[in-house]
Amino acid sequence: MRIGQLAKRSGVSVRALRYYEEQNLLESARTSGGQRDYPEDALDRVQLIQDLFAAGLSSRTVVELLPCVSTGTATPDMLGQLTTERDRIAERIQDLSRAKSKLDRVIEDVVAAGVVKA
């Protein structure tokens, strides 16, 4: 699939996809005309990259961890890093869940008090 198709299907800009390639996060073949040609599984890869970025991982960390995804294997150091990142994400989820609960209570209080202004 061409870069424009991947961008449209993934919801990621062409510029971001080029950046992913520059950072060795994503690979493409080149057509005889020099255009990028991505395999069908590039869509899953882009989604994973987006998810990891959204979870707060840096592009450098993602580059280090992606081979584990591709090969299904890891060195002890990589496994340690994967575990550390997973634990950090779990902590972040707990923090966000607490913040959401607090906002839920504020919303309930405001609605119960009938103090909603347009």
Q: Note the pLDDT tens digit of each residue in 49-104.
A: 999 999 999 888 899 888 887 788 888 998 999 999 999 999 999 999 999 999 99
Per-residue tokens: 30: 């080149």
C-alpha separations of 86 from 50, 69, 83 in Å: 16, 14, 5
- For residue 36, what is the enclosing H or E element? strand 36-37
Banded model confidence at residue 118, pLDDT cuts 50, 70, 90: low
* Mean of per-residue pLDDT scores for the chain: 92
3-state secondary structure of 103: helix
pLDDT at 69: 78
Q: Give the domain ranges of the chain.
A: 1-73, 74-118
pTM here? Answer: 0.78
pLDDT at 53: 92
What is the C-alpha to C-alpha distance for residues 58 and 41, in angstroms, rounded to an integer? 22
What CATH code would you report for 1-73? 1.10.1660.10
